[in-house]
């Protein structure tokens, strides 16, 4: 049996055992390209493939059994070796199909054992390359990856030229890659790639070689490897859009190409993004699909939400290829990337870059016409930029003037580049807004006007027309005074244009109303009145306030043309339309009053004082609260005075005083009133008026002095003694100089005191009359002297009366001093009166003095006697009194004789005669024997 078995041809035995093992049953360990491309992780690994060399039996288990039987027969060594090898191969192949089970693992361990026995038994066998190969496969299936790697290395070392060795390099690289031993995997993949067309694994090895480099952070070699794959797989002239470019790759290779591009972007992302790509291309040259690389890199970074890096990747293309036709598209990608990342400020910056770089006038186009695509994109960016700066500036209008101007620049460029744009009128309106808010008022006004009148009628035509008016009016307030008139005329022209073109505009009448005011400012009074009439005569729906303003301008314009009656009529209408509590009402009243007053002035200029007074006084009746009323009342009174209508003038002036007690014209009113009262024969009222003038500190001293004197004399004239006395006294106190008038005042004060019986005040003013003369100096006059003499005499008489009033009572030594003092006082005044040199005064004083002595002596004799005196004592007391009284009697005789002696001097009057009679009574023996006449008294001389 053994012999027969051993005699079986080995080829037949192998054929029977392997016939059932088809290539499909052998699991190919190479990773499916479709399972790895497009993933970021390392590719999944699988078992090694088996290359079948010959057919096997259809029933591998039966074949295994046959080989076991064969080996049991102890065949010849060569057959035994081949049978073991075939048995091991069948077990490995069968376990590939069965999967990982305990039985399978046992079979694989048996196969490993057999392979190792074969290698140990026949180390130099030329067919050992296959044994090593299969051993590595069995080890891999058992999970002994490191052992498989070593086995494949032994295969390469011993059989470098074997076809299985070439294949083994790929398998070993795959296992090394699985073990993350990338550097070793790199070398084996490289060896496979070096075989070129000699291996079916070139493309897989190239792909995994790139991954090995990437895994070792050898990014640039990795990039180069994957670029080679893309160079091979991408169609001619691929789109710069990665998705479109990859769509042109053969479907079987799309995943490979996609993942290659993915690894390139991963590498570049790590190296620095767009700048890294540009640096790489600068060193290594541009592949034909370089735009796609920038686009893919940008997309990859954006997928990771690295928005800034993605934008910079797109920007890197523009920086490296600024003149490329694709540059605008990449700038669009830059903008979109920053937009996705929420970088609003940067988006604005990049939109500005687009707008300036790809503007049709920019150097980029080098005289060529900008593409429709760019023009469309540019249009959007220009509007976005304009509205951005416009909105930004509006957040702080005062601080952001320059941003308004920037917005205006973008709006203007839209208008220049897209004149047929359907939104052109709106854009033009916004241009006006931004210029206005940016302080370019005149430019804004012109753009508003253009919007209103240079385009077909649109939704904002009327609004623009009104904005143009407002802007021109604002500009008129901003310009220097020398330019304001011209600016106002432009505003007026546009205002009238609005009113004529847009008759239903809601601001038509407000605009016309402002126009009347502007025309008035320009002193174009006739046209101001004409335009105001359009408002006044407009429909009833016009707001009353506008109609009021129109009447106001009409009144002002009529007034400015000296048409005061027409002005009065206009202001009256304005006042009717003004609420009682309106803040402007007082001013209107003043204007109305002024128009009436001016009519009075005109009549006065024409010397028609009656009409002038009528108009002046009409001011108070129609506008009683007007500030000019006081002046009008004053001027009305003046006109009445000119007409010599004193009673009417007085009434008006008294009314003025009652209404305007503190008015600056009060002084002149009192003067006029005083004159009117005097002319109307009313001295008391005139005196009151002059008194007020005299008290007014604003008048000159001369005026006050004269007014006070007139007040006193007029009171005197009116028989108003108390008032006159007060006025005279005030005068004397205030104006003691000049003496002439002051002495007259004192004379009247003496008279008033004498009449009233007020001895105290009489003495006061008599004393002051004497003092005034005594201190008059160079102002002393005969009148002052005469009045002083009379005052002294009267003071002496008053003193004499006082002397007589003092009775001598017991004890005499106590009452006598008072009488003596009064006596001395009287003697002093009577003596002073006699010194002035006026005969009448002197003789009267002498007579009074003689009588004073006589009466004093008589008073002594009539004095009360002490009680309880004896007859003798009484007689002695009487004798004593006679002795005391005698000197006074003698003094009286001497004094009266002094008067008699003046006869010789040619002085003879009642006082001399009275002295003679007094002497006859005192000393009848000497002077009373016969009737004595003037000739008799001359003998006394």
| Cβ neighbour number for residue 773 with a 10 Å cutoff | 24
Of 27-41, 306-320, 716-730, 914-928, the poorest mean pLDDT is in: 27-41
Gyration radius (Cα) of the chain, Å: 71
Joined tokens for residue 803: 């002397």
- The better pLDDT of the pair 680, 852 is held by 680
Q: Tell whether the model's pLDDT for residue 24 goes beyond 90.
A: no
Report the distance separating Cα 704 and Cα 175, nearest Å: 133
Q: Is residue 95 very low, low, confident or very high in pLDDT (cuts 50, 70, 90)?
A: low
- What is the token pair recorded at 150? 């070593």
Query: 101-128 pLDDT, tens per residue?
Result: 777 788 888 888 888 888 888 888 888 8
* Residue 489: pLDDT over 60: yes
Rounded-to-integer distance, Cα 247 and Cα 257, Å = 10
The pLDDT value given to residue 108: 84
C-alpha 168/C-alpha 181 separation (Å) is 16
How is residue 919 written in tokens?
């002497």
**Is-contact 186 209, C-beta < 8 A?**
yes
Are 798 and 762 a contacting pair, CB within 8 Å?
yes
pLDDT at 32: 32
Instruction: Report residue 504 as tokens.
Output: 């239903």
Polymer length of the chain: 941
Distance (Å, rounded) from C-alpha 693 to C-alpha 689?
6
Helix axes 782-805, 839-861, angle to 10 degrees: 10
For 493-497, 670-674, 861-865, which range has the lowest pLDDT when averaged over its residues?
Answer: 861-865
Angstrom distances, CA of residue 144 to CA of 33, 141, 183: 25, 7, 20
The pLDDT tens digits of the residues spanning 756-786 come to 999 999 989 999 999 988 898 888 988 888 9
Q: Are 439 and 401 in contact (CB under 8 A)?
A: yes
> Which pLDDT value is given to residue 801?
83
Spatial distance between the Cα atoms of 930 and 651, rounded to a whole number of angstroms: 74
pLDDT at 91: 66
Backbone φ, ψ for residue 453 (5° rounding)? -120, -15
Residue-level pLDDT at 893: 87
Which residues, listed in sequence order, are joined to residue 20 by a DSSP beta bridge? Answer: 57
Q: In whole angstroms, what is the distance from residue 218 CA to residue 558 CA?
A: 96
Whether the per-residue pLDDT at 637 is higher than 80: the answer is yes
Helix 481-501 to helix 461-478 angle, to the nearest 10 degrees?
160
Q: Which of 142-146, 327-331, 871-875 has the lowest mean pLDDT?
A: 871-875
Q: What is the DSSP letter of 396?
A: S
pLDDT higher for 776 or 234?
Answer: 234
Provide the total of helices (H) and of strands (E) in the chain, helices listed first: 46, 2
C-alpha–C-alpha distance, residues 22 and 134, integer Å:
17
3-state secondary structure of 930: coil
Query: Can you read off the two tokens belonging to residue 94?
Result: 């069968």
Residue 49 reports pLDDT greater than 50:
no
pLDDT value at 811 more than 90: no
Mean pLDDT across the stretch 614-635?
95
pLDDT range class, residue 232, cuts 50, 70, 90: very high
Burial of 554 (0-12, 13-18, 19+ CB in 10 A): buried
Of the spans 58-62, 195-199, 363-367, which averages the highest pLDDT? 363-367
* Distances 228 to 214, 313, 898 between C-alpha atoms, Å: 15, 22, 169
pLDDT value of position 885: 66
Q: Which of 38, 46, 268 is nearest to 177 (CA)?
A: 46
Give one DSSP letter per residue of 426-492, joined into a string: HHHHHHHHHHHHTT-HHHHHHHHHHHHHSSS--TTHHHHHHHHHHHHHHHHHHS-HHHHHHHHHHHH
How far is it, in rounded angstroms, from Cα 210 to Cα 189?
9
**Closest alpha carbon to 452 in 414, 486, 500:** 500
Q: What is the mean pLDDT of the chain?
A: 86
Average pLDDT of 331-355? 95
Q: Which residue has the tokens 């073990």?
A: 179
Asked if residues 582 and 545 have their Cβ atoms less than 8 Å apart, the reply is no
Could you report the per-residue pLDDT of 500-549, keeping only the tens digit for each? 999 999 999 999 999 999 999 999 999 999 999 999 999 999 999 999 99
What average pLDDT does this structure show over 55-71? 67
- Mean pLDDT to the nearest integer, 848-873: 77
Averaged pLDDT, 250-254: 93
Look at residue 941 in the predicted model and tell me its pLDDT: 47
Residue 25 DSSP code: G
The β-bridge partners of 931 are none
Task: Give the ranges where 142-201 is alpha helix by DSSP (H).
Answer: 145-158, 163-178, 182-194
With H, G, I as helix, E, B as strand and everything else as coil, classify residue 864: coil
Closest CA to 228 of 195, 200, 198, 193: 193
Q: pLDDT at residue 211 above 70?
A: yes
Distance CA 231, CA 723 (A): 133
What is residue 185's predicted lDDT score, i.e. its pLDDT? 94
Q: Which of these ranges, 64-68, 539-543, 611-615, 644-648, has the smallest mean pLDDT?
A: 64-68
919: three-class secondary structure by DSSP: helix
**Reported pTM:** 0.61
As given in the structure block, the two tokens for residue 753 are 């005191």
Q: Is pLDDT at 311 greater than 60 in this prediction? A: yes
């Amino acid at each position: 049996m053994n012999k027969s078995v051993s005699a079986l041809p080995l080829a037949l035995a192998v054929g029977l055992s392997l016939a059932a093992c088809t290539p499909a049953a052998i699991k190919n360990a190479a990773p499916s390209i479709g399972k790895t491309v497009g993933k970021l992780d390392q590719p999944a690994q699988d078992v090694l493939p088996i290359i079948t060399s010959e057919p096997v039996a259809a029933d591998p288990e039966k074949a295994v059994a046959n080989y076991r039987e064969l080996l049991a027969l102890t065949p010849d060594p060569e057959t035994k070796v081949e049978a073991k090898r075939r048995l091991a191969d069948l077990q490995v192949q069968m376990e590939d199909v069965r999967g990982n089970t305990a039985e399978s693992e046992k079979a694989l361990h048996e196969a490993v054992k057999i392979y190792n026995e074969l290698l140990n038994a026949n180390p130099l066998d030329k067919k050992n390359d296959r044994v090593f190969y299969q051993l590595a496969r069995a080890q891999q299936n058992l999970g002994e990856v490191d052992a498989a790697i070593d086995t494949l290395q032994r295969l390469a070392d011993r059989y470098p030229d074997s076809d299985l060795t070439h294949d083994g390099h790929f398998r070993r690289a795959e296992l090394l890659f699985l073990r993350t031993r990338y550097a070793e995997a790199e070398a084996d993949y490289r060896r496979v790639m070096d075989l070129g067309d000699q291996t079916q694994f070139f493309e897989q090895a190239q792909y995994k070689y790139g991954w090995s480099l990437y895994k070792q952070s050898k990014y640039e070699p990795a990039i180069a490897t994957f670029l080679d794959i893309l160079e091979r797989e991408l169609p001619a002239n691929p789109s710069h859009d990665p998705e479109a470019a990859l769509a042109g790759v053969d479907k079987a290779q799309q995943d490979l190409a996609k993942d290659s591009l993915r690894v390139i972007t991963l590498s570049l992302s790590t190296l620095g993004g767009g700048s890294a790509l540009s640096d790489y291309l600068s060193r290594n040259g541009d592949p034909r699909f370089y735009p796609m690389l920038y686009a893919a890199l940008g997309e990859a970074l954006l997928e990771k939400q690295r928005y800034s890096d993605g934008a910079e990747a797109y920007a890197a293309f523009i920086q490296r290829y600024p003149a490329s036709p694709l540059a605008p598209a990449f700038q669009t990608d830059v903008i979109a990337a920053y937009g996705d990342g929420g970088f609003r400020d940067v988006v604005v910056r990049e939109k500005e870059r687009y707008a300036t770089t790809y503007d049709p006038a920019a150097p980029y186009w080098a005289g060529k016409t900008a593409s429709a695509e760019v023009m469309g994109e540019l249009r959007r960016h220009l509007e976005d930029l304009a509205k951005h700066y416009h909105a930004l500036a509006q957040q702080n209008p005062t601080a952001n003037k320059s941003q308004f101007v920037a917005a205006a620049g973008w709006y203007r460029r839209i208008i220049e580049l897209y004149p047929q744009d359907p939104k052109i009128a709106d854009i033009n309106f916004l241009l006006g807004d931004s210029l206005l808010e940016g302080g370019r008022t005149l430019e804004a006004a012109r753009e508003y006007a253009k919007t209103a009148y240079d385009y077909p009628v649109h939704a904002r035509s009327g609004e623009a027309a009104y904005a143009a008016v407002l802007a021109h009016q604002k500009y008129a307030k901003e310009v220097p005074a020398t330019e304001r008139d011209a600016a106002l005329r432009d505003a007026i022209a546009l205002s009238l244009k609005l009113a004529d073109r847009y008759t239903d505009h809601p601001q038509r009448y407000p605009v016309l109303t402002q126009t009347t005011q502007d025309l008035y400012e320009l002193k174009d009074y006739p046209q101001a009145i004409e335009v105001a009439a359009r408002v006044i005569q407009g429909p009833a729906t016009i707001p009353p306030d506008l109609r009021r303003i129109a009447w106001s301008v009409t009144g002002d314009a009529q007034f400015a043309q000296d048409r005061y009656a027409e002005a009065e009529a206009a202001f009256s209408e304005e006042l009717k339309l003004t609420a009682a509590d309106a803040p402007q009402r007082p001013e209107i009243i003043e204007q109305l009053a002024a128009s009436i007053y001016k009519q009075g002035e005109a009549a006065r200029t024409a010397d028609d004082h009656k009409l002038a007074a009528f108009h002046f006084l009409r001011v108070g009746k129609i506008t009683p609260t007007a500030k000019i009323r006081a002046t009008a009342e004053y001027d009305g009174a003046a006109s009445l005075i000119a007409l010599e209508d004193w009673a009417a003038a007085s009434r008006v002036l008294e009314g003025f005083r009652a209404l305007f007690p503190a008015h600056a014209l009060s002084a002149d009113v009192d003067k006029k009133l005083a004159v009117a009262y005097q002319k109307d024969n009313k001295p008391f009222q005139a005196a009151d008026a002059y008194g007020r003038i005299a008290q007014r500190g604003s008048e000159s001293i001369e005026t006050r002095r004269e007014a006070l004197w007139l007040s006193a004399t007029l009171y005197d004239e009116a028989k108003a003694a108390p008032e006159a006395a007060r006025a005279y006294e005030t005068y004397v106190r205030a104006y003691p100089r000049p003496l002439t008038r002051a002495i007259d005042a004192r004379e009247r004060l003496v008279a008033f005191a004498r009449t009233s019986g007020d001895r105290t005040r009489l003495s006061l003013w008599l004393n002051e009359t004497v003092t005034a003369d005594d201190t008059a100096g160079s102002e002393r006059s005969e009148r002052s002297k005469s009045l002083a003499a009379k005052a002294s005499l009267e003071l002496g008489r008053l003193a004499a009366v006082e002397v007589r009033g003092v009775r001598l009572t017991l004890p005499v030594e106590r009452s006598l001093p008072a009488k003596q003092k009064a006596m001395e006082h009287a003697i002093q005044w009577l003596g002073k009166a006699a010194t002035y040199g006026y005969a009448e005064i002197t003789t009267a004083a002498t007579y009074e003095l003689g009588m004073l002595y006589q009466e004093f002596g008589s008073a002594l004799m009539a004095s009360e006697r002490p009680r309880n005196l004896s007859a003798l004592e009484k007689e002695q007391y009487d004798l004593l009194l006679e002795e005391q009284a005698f000197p006074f009697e003698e003094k009286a005789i001497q004094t009266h004789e002094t008067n008699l002696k003046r006869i010789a001097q040619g002085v003879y009057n009642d006082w001399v005669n009275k002295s003679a009679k007094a002497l006859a009574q005192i000393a009848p023996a000497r002077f009373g024997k016969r009737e004595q006449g003037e000739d008799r008294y001359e003998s006394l001389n």
